[in-house]
Amino acid sequence: MTEQVLPGLQLEKVDDRIMTLNVGPQHPGSGHMRIILRVDGDYIVHCDPDPGYVHRGEEKMAEYRNYITNIPHLERPVIHDSCNILYPYCLGVEELLGLEVPERAKYLRVIAAELNRCVYTQYWLGIYGIFLGHSTMFMWPVGDRELFVDLLEKMTGARVTHSYFVPGGIRNDVPPNFEDVCLRYVNYFEKRIKEYADVFYDNPILISRTKDTGVLSKEDAIKLGTTGSVLRASGVDFDIRKKEPYDVYEELDFDTNVLKEGDSYARSKIPWLDMFQSCRIIRDALQKMPKSGSVRVKLKPNPKGGDAEVYRRVESGRGALGMHIVSKGKPQPYRLKMSVGSFRNLIAMPHLLTGEKLGNLPPVYWSLNYWPVEADR
């Protein structure tokens, strides 16, 4: 094995006209990943995404830790969206162990997940703004995001990496005045994000840079198995919260945002529109939530799953997030596979960037709602 030429280290001969260009892995415009481009003048003729710079072996680690000690490290791939990345894990372990989650915990989970979705989306929107050279759009979302970060700190005790969800409910109940504070914050937040239209989404510079760049047709979006905002921007109405409702999403009032264009503009708009729906969900959940009650079922020490396997999925900030957990009667999972939205949307990147101008790399790349750390796991 050692004598053969290792894959990825082979240098391919490129002719005089075409130049190979490495974007990343430390370039801030690429996130923590490398994109190997071949450019012909100003046009990208070949794109080869090379993730793995921040691969941490989450799946291997999960095989050595029991169901409870897996919680803190599994949320590491997306610390801004840590509730959503733990959600399928908790749902899966609950199915394996046969746990029934208390009603109040289900509502609080939904609220925490939606707050997290907004926190993640704001961070992503800030990066999207700054890489298009729009520094106001970096300052505003990062500033407004603090509201929900504070709210989540009140709720969970940590600004990010909350470790809030546990199999069987949530770690602890919210403080007594949480409902009022949450409602106030959500109303203000909604007012703020409405203003993003004036400064960003209706801005002619943004529109001219993102309209009709990187168009993903509906057929290709389905064929490539994309998910989340990428899929819904291409006209496919698919949101797991609606299609396969988990916890109490079935009882809550919200809509799915779908756009038909499939270009970078539509892809950048969907997460923003989703934040309004998140505000609706949170307000509705606060109203329908039982005012008191237990928030967690007591687990046996070191619970063991049976000889079974589960596949559970949720809608995260970046699309469907599935976890395949194989249990073999041990306190640890036998195998845990995370199917994450970023990794699935990465498949669309070579498809979208080939043939584009080099200057369109940032709007197309960041519109994929791609989080390198999550894709690498």
Closest distance to another protein from the beta carbon of 97 (Å): 16
**Residue spans of alpha helices (H) in the chain:** 58-62, 70-74, 82-97, 103-131, 136-156, 178-194, 196, 204-210, 218-223, 228-233, 240-243, 264-288, 341-346, 348-353, 361-367, 372-376
What's the CA gap between 351 and 170, in Å, rounded? 41
Distance of alpha carbon 115 from alpha carbon 111, whole angstroms: 6
Interface region with another protein, contact rule CB under 8 A, candidates 100-108, 135-143, 146-154, 310-318: 310-318
Residue with tokens 């490539």: 224
Q: Is 286 in the site for another protein (CB under 8 A)?
A: no
| Beta-carbon count within 10 A of 10 CB | 7
Interacting residue with another protein among 153, 173, 190, 309 (CB under 8 A): 309
Of 16-24, 111-119, 254-262, 319-327: span binding another protein (CB under 8 A):
319-327
**Among the listed residues 83, 113, 147, 224, the single contact to another protein using CB under 8 A:** 224
Phi/psi region, residue 8 (left: phi>0; alpha: psi -120 to 50; beta: rest), is left
Decide: is 232 part of the binding site for another protein (CB under 8 A): no
Shortest approach of another protein to residue 339 CB, angstroms? 3
Q: Give the CA angle between residues 11, 16, 20 to the nearest 5°.
A: 45
Quote the CA–CA distance of 18 and 284 in Å, as a whole number.
56
The binding track of 337-356 with respect to another protein, each residue x by CB under 8 A or -, is: x-x---xx-xx---------
Q: Name the minimum Å distance from CB 90 to another protein.
A: 18
Chosen residue from 92, 169, 322, 363 binding another protein by CB under 8 A: 322
| Contact flags string 7-26 toward another protein, x per CB under 8 A | xxx-----------------
The answer to whether the beta carbons of residues 39 and 19 sit under 8 Å apart is yes
Here the tokens at position 226 are 């994309």
- Nearer Cβ to another protein (243/260): 243
Nearer to another protein, 273 or 321 (CB): 321
Q: Please identify which residue in 6, 12, 13, 292 interacts with another protein, judged by CB under 8 A.
A: 6
For residue 189 the two structure tokens come to 């937040």
Helix (H) or strand (E) holding 316: strand 307-316
Determine the Cα–Cα distance for residues 144 and 194; give it in Å rounded to an integer: 12
Q: Which stretch binds another protein (CB under 8 A): 12-20, 159-167, 197-205, 304-312?
A: 304-312
Helix axes 82-97, 103-131, angle to 10 degrees: 150
Least distance to another protein from the beta carbon of 376, Å? 6
Tell whether residue 236 is a contact of another protein (CB under 8 A): yes
Give residues 29-88 in contact with another protein (rule: CB under 8 A): 50-52, 55, 57, 59-61, 64
Kindly tell me the burial class for residue 69, based on how many C-beta atoms sit within 10 Å of its own C-beta (0-12, 13-18, 19 or more).
Answer: middle
Closer CB to another protein, 61 or 181, in the complex: 61
Stretch that binds another protein, among 264-272, 297-305, 324-332, 358-366 (CB under 8 A): 324-332
- Site map (CB under 8 A) of another protein, residues 111-140, x = contact: ------------------------------
3-state helix vs strand vs coil in the chain, percent to 5: 50, 15, 35
Binding residue for another protein, selected from 68, 181, 326, 358, defined by CB under 8 A = 326
Based on CB atoms, which residue is closest to another protein, 26 or 187? Answer: 26
Q: Are residues 163 and 112 in contact, defined by beta-carbon separation less than 8 angstroms?
A: no
Q: Does 324 bind another protein (CB under 8 A)?
A: yes
Q: Which of 20, 18, 44 is nearest to 365 (CA)?
A: 44
Could you give the CA distance from residue 275 to residue 116 in angstroms, rounded to a whole number?
A: 10
Q: Does residue number 98 form part of the binding site for another protein (CB under 8 A)?
A: no
Contacts with another protein, residue ranges (CB under 8 A): 1-2, 6-9, 50-52, 55, 57, 59-61, 64, 222-225, 227, 231, 236, 238, 243-244, 307-311, 313, 320, 322, 324, 326, 328, 334-335, 337, 339, 343-344, 346-347, 376-377
